[in-house]
Every structure is written in C-alpha cells, then in structure tokens.
Amino acid sequence: MIMPIRQFQAHRMQAPRHFKAIENTPICVEIGAGKGKHALLFSGLQPAQTLYAVERTKEKFLAMQKQQVLDPRPNLYPVHADALPWIVHTLYPVQVEQFFILYPNPEPHNPAQRWLNMPFFEFLLSRLKPEGTITLASNIPEYIAEAAQQLEQLWQLPFEKQVIASGSARTHFEIKYLERGEPCQQLVISKPATYQTRFDNFMPLLGQNHAE
C-alpha cells in the first residue's frame, strides 16, 4: 500500500561514524537501548535470538558496553549510533523479527518527531519481516492513544494494547515510572504478511557517504 504521507528520503541519510555492515540474517533490534538493561535481559532470556541494541548517547552506550563486558552475551551487539541512519545503512528488507522502542522521548514540543508520525516509520516497517512485531512502550497515555490512532488511520496495522505489570523492570525508566504509579502501557504492533511499503526493494546503503 502507498501511504498518504510524504516519502522518507532514505538515500540522503549519511552513514553513522565507524559504520560496520552486518549479515542479512534474522535479528532483533532495540532502538534507544539506554544503559542496556532490557538488552541484557532479553538476550539472556532469548539466547537463540541476536539483538542489536542501538543507543545514540555516548555515556549510556558506554554503560551498556561495560555491562556487556561484565556479563557477556554472545548474542548481544551494542551499537553507538543514531538509529535512523544506522537502520538505513545496515538493515535489509524483512530482516528484523522484533523491534523494541521502549519509553522513547515523547517530543512534547515537536509531535512530528514521534515515531508513528514520522515518514521514517514506513522505512522501519519495510525492515520488519512478515508477522514480525514492534513493541512501543510509554508512560504517557496521550502518547499511546495518538500512536494507536495512527496505527488505525494512517498505517492500517493491527496491534494489541497492553498494560505493563507493576512489577515489570525492563528498563530504568520503566522501574522509575512504575514506582511513581504512572500508567505504563505498550502497543505490540504486527505486520501482516500482505503488507507493503514503498521501501520493500530498497537495499541498505552499506556505509556509502560515510562522514569521517
């Protein structure tokens, strides 16, 4: 299907610094992995699945990398990069089994930068395999409500809305929000086998236009 939204300009994305290509094998990806709490938990519980945990902030990435050294996970690959160019330059069509976007910046002053409001979300969907999932979590009810509306009206994707259990501790943010009694929720978004995007045949740029 062709989305009623302007097309993301993937070919204009500059490669992340120190770019490294990966093989076209099934993987999971966490966007905004922070200090790696969920990444370490997931990779420990799912040893057969490979997880790339992408974090832009150097301090948080180094903390995640340190935890990986202290408690090695052979199936976990921390990545220090901005998620958008890393995904464009690295991931292949229908490669990803699961995306995790846990407690992203709600962009209160710039709603157009919220994940489901961005043209980039269509590109993200092209990297997701048929029947794959995207888990989007937030402690802000309005954020979840808007995302659900976008899924229904714009992206036309099925999803399940879930309340996160009070004892859940996947991320440091999740622990803090639940301790405050905030209503943490998540949308588990599914990609139907027949779903199409304008990027289904777009291959990764593999580090082209890399800025030194």
Domain 25-189 carries which CATH code? 3.40.50.150
- Of the candidates 140, 59, 135, 124, which has an alpha carbon nearest to the alpha carbon of residue 91? 124
- The more confidently predicted of residues 32 and 20 is 32
pLDDT at 211: 39
The string of DSSP codes covering 180-191 is TT---EEEEEE-
Residues with Cβ within 8 Å of 35's Cβ and at least 6 positions away in sequence, in order, are 60, 63, 64, 67, 172
Give the β-pairing of 185-190 and 128-138: antiparallel
List pLDDT tens digits, range 124-149.
999 999 999 999 999 999 999 999 99
158/126 Cα distance (integer angstroms)? 16
Mean pLDDT of the chain: 93
Phi, psi of 19 (to 5 degrees): -60, 140
State the amino acid at position 78 in one-letter form.
P
Mean pLDDT of 54-81: 95
The residue count for the chain:
212
Distances (CA, A) of 53 to 21, 108, 124, 160, 184: 15, 25, 15, 24, 22
Percentage helix, strand, coil for the chain under 3-state DSSP, each rounded to 5 = 35, 20, 45
List pLDDT tens digits, range 68-94.
999 999 999 999 999 999 999 999 999
- Of the candidates 15, 197, 57, which has an alpha carbon nearest to the alpha carbon of residue 124? 197
pLDDT at 2: 45
Whether 24 shows a pLDDT value over 70: the answer reads yes
Structural domain boundaries in the chain:
25-189
H/E stretch holding 101 reads: strand 96-102
Query: pLDDT grade, residue 210 (50/70/90)?
Result: very low
Exposed e or buried b for every residue in 29-59, given b needs 16+ CB within 10 A? Answer: bbbbbbbbbbbbebbeeeeeebbbbbbbeee
State the amino acid at position 56 in one-letter form.
R
